[in-house]
């Protein structure tokens, strides 16, 4: 296990020989540990780097008010800049996908290095009216209880007595932090953008997901899996099979400059 200097990024299986680095952003209430098993499950050509959201450790305690979400975007982007030595992709689940989206945009602005692929799961595009997102439109306590109930359906152990207090604290923190997010229009990405969704997700209207296609000038794909909002929590195998195919089959660009953006060419 390797942890970045400021604690925002965990590398469960560091691999200096990997050809691609996959940054994983957990969703509402989850932590970096959600993706630790992926380091063993993905091919050795892919190194997993999982983001630890704010509010999980004392060192990452940002106030969930004011510009809290923007502060987290800036902090994570600054940390990721130290690991742009090879091609990288972003995977984000639920609200973690919005964090990944904003971090990617900031990196393009600051470093001119875009991701080679964006992969987001179970979240409408950021321009969507939040009143259309059920878990954000419920009364606050009811919304958190709804999320807990859905997690309980997936794995009762996630919300047993010993874990429920911690999980509720995280959900409360994340929900407050999310209310500080404001979407601002920017030019689209040029990389492939893949959206994953659960067929029985009670929180996401699948019809809204097509709006993601306007956020890239590159290929857009929507993949639907059997399951709910947390469809990959217990068995990530089906998702990882599709995700791996998308990343391995993709041709990684070499060192060049396209439309003012610096592309790839890394040294092992």
**What are φ and ψ of residue 18, in 5° steps?**
-65, 145
Listed residue (158, 170, 238) closest to 198, CA to CA: 238
Q: What is the mean pLDDT of residues 148-175?
A: 65
pTM, two decimals, is 0.86
Is the confidence at residue 140, as pLDDT, over 80?
no
pLDDT in tens, 192-232: 999 999 998 888 888 999 999 999 999 999 999 999 888 99
Cα 87 from Cα 156, distance rounded (Å):
38
Categorize the per-residue pLDDT at 39 as very low, low, confident or very high, splitting at 50, 70 and 90: very high
More confident residue, 181 or 149: 181
Cα(189)–Cα(231) distance, integer angstroms: 27
Kindly state the tokens that stand for 151.
Answer: 């997690």
For residue 252, CA distances in Å to 114, 115, 164, 221 come to 12, 10, 42, 18
Tokens 């195998």, residue? Answer: 237
How far is the C-alpha of 221 from the C-alpha of 119, rounded, in Å?
A: 9
pLDDT at 198: 93
Matching residue, tokens 């600054």: 78
**CATH number at 2-249:** 3.40.50.1820
């Amino acid at each position: 296990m390797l942890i970045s200097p400021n604690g925002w990024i965990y590398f469960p299986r560091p691999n200096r020989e990997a050809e691609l680095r996959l940054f994983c952003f957990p969703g509402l209430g989850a932590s970096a540990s959600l993706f630790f098993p992926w380091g063993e499950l993905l091919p050795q050509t892919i190194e997993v780097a999982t983001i630890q959201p704010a509010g999980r450790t004392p060192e990452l305690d940002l106030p969930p008010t004011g510009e809290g979400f923007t502060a987290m975007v800036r902090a994570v982007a600054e940390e990721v800049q130290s690991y742009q030595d090879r091609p990288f992709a972003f995977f984000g689940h639920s609200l973690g996908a919005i964090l990944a989206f904003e971090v990617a945009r900031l990196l393009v602005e600051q470093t001119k290095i875009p991701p080679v692929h964006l992969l987001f799961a179970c979240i409408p595009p950021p321009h969507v009216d939040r009143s259309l997102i059920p878990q954000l439109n419920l009364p606050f306590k009811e919304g958190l209880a709804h999320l807990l109930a859905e997690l309980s359906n997936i794995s009762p152990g996630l919300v047993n007595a010993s874990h429920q207090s911690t999980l509720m604290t995280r959900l409360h923190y994340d929900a407050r932090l999310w209310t500080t997010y404001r979407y601002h229009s920017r030019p689209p990405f040029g990389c492939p953008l893949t959206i994953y969704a659960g067929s029985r997700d009670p929180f996401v209207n699948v019809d809204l997901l097509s709006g993601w296609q306007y956020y890239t000038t590159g290929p857009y794909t929507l993949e639907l899996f059997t399951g709910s909002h947390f469809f990959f929590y217990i068995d990530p195998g089906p998702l990882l099979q599709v995700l791996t195919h998308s990343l391995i089959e993709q041709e990684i660009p070499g060192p060049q400059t396209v439309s003012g953006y610096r592309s790839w060419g890394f040294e092992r």
